């Protein structure tokens, strides 16, 4: 495997509270509706807790199916409609997507049988962290650059075994109005494993900044904004796969994948509706 530079890999977003739209009562559901959504979400969380003891006993296909069912229950609880377009990979592929919200992870798990690459902080999130670890999530500590080559090797090993691994190469969340740069490190795993790279565009229509995980947001603060959104449609669009043998370096792969994601707009017409 080619070496990965040992510079500090800790990207920071310029997005903050100033990216949020002005409060709009017409764009929010009632307090009662928010409470109903929250109760439904608690039910989905309890479903996740019930899965924890049985996940290690399942075969990989069963774990992926359980993860997909749990992710869809989260979206259903929040009354989020998910639409998809394009061919999502089912084996030996690095799935790379833009990153706006923690909902991105839920959406990917709802539509693709993927292992996730997540920041190590996620491991400490209530329920979600344990579910992620049980589902085979690969964690990366961005404050420890010397550990990065090992993470790249873990991703490459998962790809060689025929798996699909989903990563967010921007390295952190952005508000949707502004975006980050696709960092090349994880693309090395696709080159090492000879795996295809599938760029995926995640969009939230007119409401990306409302659902974005911004700056110093806590999960609770972000969740409260999501609970209040009146009508939220997410689109997950898979663009044509990129093949490593046609690209010389990970940086070139990153640039091409980023361009593919940036040129793909929100998808509502002609998309296959997925009742989350």
Mean pLDDT of the region 181-186: 89
Strands 114-119 and 138-140: parallel
* CA-based torsion, 159, 267, 170, 260: positive or negative: positive
Question: Worst-scoring range by mean pLDDT, 36-45, 200-209, 230-239?
Answer: 200-209
132: Cβ–Cβ under 8 A, 6 or more apart, which residues?
Answer: 116, 118, 122, 123, 125
Q: 128-156 pLDDT, tens per residue?
A: 777 777 667 888 877 777 878 888 999 99
Helix or strand holding residue 225 (H, E) = helix 219-228
Mean pLDDT of the region 19-37: 79
In this predicted structure, what is the pLDDT of residue 77? 96
In this predicted structure, what is the pLDDT of residue 216? 73
Cβ(99)–Cβ(168) below 8 Å: yes
Please report the domains of the chain, with CATH numbers, ordered by start residue: 27-274 (3.40.1130)
Cα 35 to Cα 107: distance, rounded to the nearest angstrom: 22
Return the beta strands (E) in 98-162 as ranges: 114-119, 138-140
Token pair belonging to 197: 């790279």
Q: 63-108 pLDDT, tens per residue?
A: 778 888 989 999 999 999 999 999 888 889 999 999 988 899 899 9
64: Cβ–Cβ under 8 A, 6 or more apart, which residues?
Answer: 113, 114, 135
């Amino acid at each position: 495997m080619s070496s990965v530079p040992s510079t500090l890999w800790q990207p920071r977003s310029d997005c903050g509270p100033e990216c949020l739209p002005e409060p709009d009562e017409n764009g929010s559901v009632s307090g009662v509706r928010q409470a109903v959504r929250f109760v439904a979400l608690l039910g989905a969380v309890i479903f996740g807790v019930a899965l924890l003891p049985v996940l290690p006993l399942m075969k990989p296909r069963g774990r992926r199916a359980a993860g997909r069912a749990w992710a869809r229950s989260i979206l259903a609880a929040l009354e989020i409609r998910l639409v998809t377009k394009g061919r999502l990979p089912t084996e030996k592929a690095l799935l790379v997507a833009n990153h706006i919200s923690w909902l991105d992870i839920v959406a990917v798990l709802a539509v693709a049988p993927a292992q996730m690459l997540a920041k190590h902080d996620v491991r400490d999130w209530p329920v979600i962290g344990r579910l992620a670890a049980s589902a085979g999530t690969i964690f990366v500590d961005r404050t420890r650059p010397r550990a990065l080559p090992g993470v790249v090797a873990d991703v490459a090993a998962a790809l060689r075994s025929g798996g699909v691994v989903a990563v967010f190469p921007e390295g952190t969340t952005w508000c949707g109005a502004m975006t980050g740069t696709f960092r090349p490190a994880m693309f090395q795993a696709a080159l090492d494993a000879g795996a295809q790279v599938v760029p995926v565009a995640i969009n939230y229509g007119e409401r990306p900044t409302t659902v974005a995980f911004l700056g110093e947001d806590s999960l609770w603060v972000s969740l409260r904004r999501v609970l209040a959104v009146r009508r939220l449609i997410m689109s997950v669009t898979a663009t044509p796969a990129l093949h490593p043998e046609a690209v010389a370096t990970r940086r070139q792969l990153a640039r091409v994948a980023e361009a593919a994601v940036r040129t793909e707009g929100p998808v509502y017409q002609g998309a296959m509706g997925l009742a989350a």
